[in-house]
C-alpha cells in the first residue's frame, strides 16, 4: 500500500529524500506504511534486524544504545536509515516517548531499487551519505569536547573531524 500523495508531499522535502521528483517518491514510497504507536512502544531493539527506515511524522522517540541515551527525535526526523544499505543489526533501541505517528519504508524494497539502478534509490543513498556525514561530524565534536584537555590531542581530533566531513560522494 503506497502512502497518500498529501503525505508524500510532506516527506519529499526531508533531507534524506532531497531532490526526488514526485514520480521517484512514488516509486520509493510504494511499499511504505503509516501507523501510530502508543507511548512506551518499542519501535525496534538494539540487535534487531535493520529491516526498515522509520520517519517520525509526529511525537517523540528516544534512541538509546546499551541503555545510554543517544538522542530524542521528533517530527520529520528519520531513524533506522543504516538498514537501507547495510545488513548489520540495529545499533540502538528506539522507544516512543509519546504517541508517535510514523511511516516505515522496508529496506528490502530500497535494496531492490538500488540493484535495479533506480534513480530514486541512488538519490536516497547519496542523501544518506550526507546525513551520516553530518551525524559523524557531530559525534566527532562530542569526542573532541569530551577528550582530555591536552591541546594537541584536541586539535588532532578536530582535524580528523574536518577531513571526514569534507569527503565528497
User: If pLDDT is split at 50, 70 and 90, which confidence band does 43 have?
Assistant: very high
Q: Chain-centre distance of CA 46, in angstroms?
A: 15
* pLDDT reported for residue 149: 61
pLDDT band at 168 (very low <50, low <70, confident <90, very high): very low
Q: What share of the chain is helix, strand, coil (3-state, %, to 5)?
A: 45, 25, 35
Per residue in 55-84, pLDDT (tens digit) is: 999 999 999 999 999 889 999 999 998 888
* Nearest by Cα to 63 from 86, 81, 45: 45
Asked whether the predicted pLDDT for residue 39 surpasses 50, the reply is: yes
Mean pLDDT of 25-31: 90
Specify the pLDDT at position 9. 85
Of 155 and 4, more confident: 4
CATH number corresponding to 5-165? 2.60.120.10
What residues does each domain of the chain span? 5-165
Distances (CA, A) of 23 to 30, 31, 86, 156, 163: 11, 14, 26, 45, 36
pLDDT score for 84: 84
What tens digit of pLDDT does each residue of 109-166 get? 888 998 999 999 999 999 988 888 887 888 787 777 776 565 556 666 666 666 555 5
Lowest mean pLDDT among 4-13, 36-45, 96-105: 4-13
Q: pLDDT value at position 169?
A: 35
Amino acid at each position: 500500500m503506497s502512502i497518500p500523495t498529501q503525505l508524500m508531499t510532506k516527506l519529499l522535502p526531508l533531507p534524506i529524500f532531497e531532490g526526488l521528483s514526485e514520480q521517484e517518491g512514488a516509486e520509493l514510497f510504494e511499499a511504505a506504511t503509516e501507523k501510530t504507536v502508543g507511548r512506551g512502544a518499542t519501535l525496534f531493539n538494539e540487535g534487531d534486524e535493520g529491516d526498515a527506515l522509520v520517519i517520525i511524522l509526529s511525537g517523540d522517540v528516544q534512541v538509546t544504545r546499551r541503555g545510554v541515551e543517544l538522542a530524542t527525535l521528533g517530527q520529520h526526523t528519520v531513524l533506522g536509515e543504516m538498514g537501507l544499505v547495510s545488513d548489520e543489526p540495529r545499533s540502538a533501541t528506539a522507544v516512543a516517548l509519546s504517541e508517535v505517528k510514523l511511516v516505515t519504508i522496508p529496506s528490502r524494497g530500497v535494496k531492490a531499487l538500488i540493484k535495479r539502478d533506480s534513480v530514486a534509490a541512488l538519490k536516497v543513498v547519496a542523501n544518506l551519505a550526507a546525513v551520516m556525514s553530518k551525524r559523524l561530524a557531530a559525534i566527532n565534536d562530542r569526542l573532541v569536547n569530551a577528550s582530555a584537555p591536552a591541546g594537541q590531542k584536541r586539535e588532532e581530533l578536530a582535524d580528523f573531524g574536518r577531513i571526514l566531513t569534507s569527503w565528497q560522494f
